[in-house]
Amino acid sequence: MPQIALWPATRQHAQDIVNNTSVETLDLHPCSVCGNLFHSPISGNGRRRSFCSRQCYHRYRETTPSMLRYRTSDKGKTVAKRKRDKYAESEHGKLRHEQYQRWQRLVLSLDPSQRPQPKSNLDPWPTCTTSDCHNIPTRRASQQCSSCARETQLRSSWRNAGKPCVECGVPLGRYQGKYCSTRCSNRASARKDRKRNPDKYRARRRRQDRRKQERRRLEKLELRSQGAFVKKCPVCDSTFDSFTNRGTLKTYCTKRCENKAHEHRRRARKRDAFIEVVSVKKLLKWQDGRCYHCNCKIRLDVEAPHAKSLTLDHLIPLVLGGEHSYANTVASCWDCNCTIKGAKAINEQLKCV
């Protein structure tokens, strides 16, 4: 199709070209909009024009689905409002507004039966097209007055109200066509796409899962930089970063503390004992840093098997059915816990001392 800029600007210009061209060279074809015969020779690409002028072409463009979607979008409304404001501030716009005001007063002064009628469907409507309504449209190019247009819009917005959703069966509301929500629409389109192209659907789902995992990883890294994963170890009460790239966070600071807690829970679970997360540092703080049995100062700078290192002692051993809780545990030095008391109960340990 040739350049639109080379087309006649109006239908009258196109008719003048037909009148001034010799009959031998005329190649007449009907216009797709107005139906007038116009001179349409075959262009270099072997195609003919479908419209006689730029005016008819733009009238056709106004009815295409893509243009209708653009008009109803936020961007289209913003651009249209900007153009209207710019035109209203110009001298030509002010002159046309004054002419429209005079035309409106003239039509209102006439009897409804004597008001002018449109010559064709392409001409502006001087009165509202709704039956039993003789008001003048708000804009000259519109076919309905403001009240009738608003009523038509409300009627169209409620046309599907009460009908069941195609996907889930929920009654539809205002401004809803076939589906009650975007979720139902996406679910239906995904099911159709899965049936048509199963391989592409699975590949797209894999890409979506990878993007979701990457987004969650970045969110976790952002929370980590804010210190959201700093917590205390329930065994040694030391502060550590519990962040991991896996799904669960770390509960213990080191593998050693995890093994200690696991061993205590395992031994107590074997005897169906009550299990509670016990912090040995808390017990030592309650005991003023001294051993529960010999009242000696416990050193935190040394580790077992040092005689004065910190250990967790069960007053009633797990072997004898004791529970792993604060009520049955004390902070003890390694010497008292492993050499004197061992697996004996507290009364048997007093006999040994």
Domain ranges of the chain: 4-63, 271-352
Going by their DSSP bridges, the two strands 329-333 and 310-314 should be labelled as antiparallel
Q: How far is CA 328 from the centre of its chain?
A: 53
Asked if the model's pLDDT at residue 227 lies above 80, the reply is yes
Give the per-residue pLDDT at 210.
93
In SS3 terms, 253-310 reads as CCHHHHHHHHHHHHHHHHCCCCECCCCHHHHHHHCCCECCCCCCECCCCCCCCCCCCE
Residues recorded for the chain = 353
Taking CA 319 as the corner, what is the angle to CA 313 and CA 322, rounded to the nearest 5 degrees? 60
**Of 52-66, 196-210, 237-251, highest mean pLDDT:** 196-210
* Secondary-structure class of domain 271-352 per CATH: alpha beta
Give the per-residue pLDDT at 119.
58
188 CB neighbour count, 10 Å cutoff: 16
340 CB neighbour count, 10 Å cutoff: 15
Give the per-residue pLDDT at 86.
92
Global pTM reads: 0.34
Q: Which two tokens stand for residue 266?
A: 């395992």
Phi, psi for residue 164 in degrees, rounded to 5: -75, 150
CA distance 84 to 14: 29
On whether the CB atoms of residues 309 and 299 are closer than 8 A, the answer is yes
**Tokens 């015969």, residue?**
37
Asked if the model's pLDDT at residue 38 lies above 60, the reply is yes
348 CB neighbour count, 10 Å cutoff: 13
On whether the CB atoms of residues 160 and 172 are closer than 8 A, the answer is yes
Give the per-residue pLDDT at 341.
63
Q: Which two tokens stand for residue 185?
A: 């629409």
Q: Which residue has the higher pLDDT, 13 or 267?
A: 13
Reported as a single tens digit per residue, the pLDDT across 190-216 is 888 888 899 988 898 899 999 998 998
Q: Which two tokens stand for residue 132?
A: 């039993």
On whether the CB atoms of residues 13 and 52 are closer than 8 A, the answer is no
The CA distances from residue 43 to 2, 23, 27, 89, 226, in Å, are 7, 19, 12, 42, 67
**How far apart, in Å, do the first and last CA atoms of the chain sit?**
109
**Tokens 């002692």, residue?**
313
Q: Which residues pair with 297 in a beta bridge?
A: 290
Q: Which residue has the higher pLDDT, 315 or 137?
A: 315
